[in-house]
Amino acid sequence: MYIDFSSKPPTPEFQDKGSHMANYNRVYQATKGAVSAAREQSDASALAQYLDAYERTGAKHVVLKGRDLESTYGFKVSNEDVAAFCTRHGPRFIGYAGVDPNKGMAAIRDLEHAVRNLGMRGCNLPCFELKLAINDPRMYPVYAKCIELDVPVVLHCGVNFSVSSPIRNSHPQLLDDVMVHFPELRVIAAPPGWPWVQELIAVAWRHKNVFIALAAVRPKYLATANSGYEPLLQYGTSILKDRIIFGSAFPLMPVEQALDDLDSLPISDDVKRKWLHDNAARALGLA
C-alpha cells in the first residue's frame, strides 16, 4: 500500500500544451523510454494501462494536479477536468487545484471553489511555470488561503529544465522566507531540491510543516555516490524520516520503476512505510 504523490494521466486534458516543457523531453529521454509505447497507443489503451499499473501495485491514493498557466503560457489543466477524472475513476485519485497568483483575487476564488465545491485536497503552484519566486508577494495571499482552508500546497523546489524560466525562483532559501511568515502552512517541496538538497534539508529541519517529495528523481540516486541526493538518504532515515514522500512523476518515470528503485534502498521497513504512505497521508491531511 502506497501513495503516489505525483502523477499525470495519459489523457488529453492533462497534457502540456505549451512549448516551455520541450527541454524536459531531452533531459528525461532515457527514463521516459519505458512509457513511450503507451503514448503511441490509443488514449483508451494508454489510460487502461495507467489505471492497471496502480491497481497491480496496490496504490491507495494517487495525487493529480491542476495547472493554471494561462498568464504565462496560455493554457491550463483545469481543476474541473482533474476533479472529473477523480470522480470517474474512484477515491484512489485525489485532485490538487492549480491556481495562478498572477491573477490576484481570481486565484483565491479559484482555490476556494476547487476545495469547497470540487472536493480538491490541496493547491499546486509550479513556480517556474508561473514565473514567480516561491517568496513573491503575489504568492502570499494563496498561502494564507491554504491555511484558512487547511490544505497543503505543492511548491516546485530545485532545478527546472524549462529554459524559459530561471531556476533561482525555486531555491529552498526562498521557501524558508515563506515558512518564517507562514509557519502553519503545510508545504510539499517537489522535486527534492537538487542542486540545493542540503539547503532544502535545512529548511525542512527548521520547519516542521515542510515535507520533501521524491518526485521526478529516481530513488536509486539517493544511494548513488556523487549524485547530490545522498543527504536525503542520511537525513531521511533519521531526523527527517517523518517528512519524506514518494512520487513517481509519471510519465517521467513508470511507477513500477520508481517502486523498484525505492525497494533497493538500504532503509528499514519502518522507514519505507513512512516514505511510501504514512508521511504523505499526514501531509495531505488523510491521516
Q: What is the CA 13 to chain-centroid distance, rounded? A: 18
User: For residue 30, what pLDDT is reported?
Assistant: 57
What angle (nearest 5°) sits at the alpha carbon of residue 189, between those of residues 186 and 190? 140
Does the pTM surpass 0.85? The reply is yes
Look at residue 133 in the predicted model and tell me its pLDDT.
98
**Cβ count within 10 A of residue 202:** 17
Query: What is the spatial distance between Cα 224 and Cα 81, in angstroms, rounded to a whole number?
Result: 39
Return the pLDDT at 28: 62
- The mean predicted confidence, pLDDT, of the chain is 93
CATH class of 2-282: alpha beta
- In sequence order, which residues have a C-beta less than 8 Å from that of residue 46 and are 6 or more positions away? 10, 11, 38, 39
Average pLDDT on 210-230 reads 97
128/152 Cα distance (integer angstroms): 19
pLDDT tens, 96-130?
999 999 999 999 999 999 999 999 999 999 999 99
Q: What is the pLDDT of residues 1-52, one digit of tens each?
A: 999 999 999 999 998 876 666 656 666 665 554 444 444 455 889 999 999 9
Q: At what angle do helices 172-181 and 197-206 cross, to 10 degrees?
A: 10
Domain residue limits, the chain: 2-282
> pLDDT tens, 175-215?
999 999 999 999 999 999 999 999 999 999 999 999 999 99
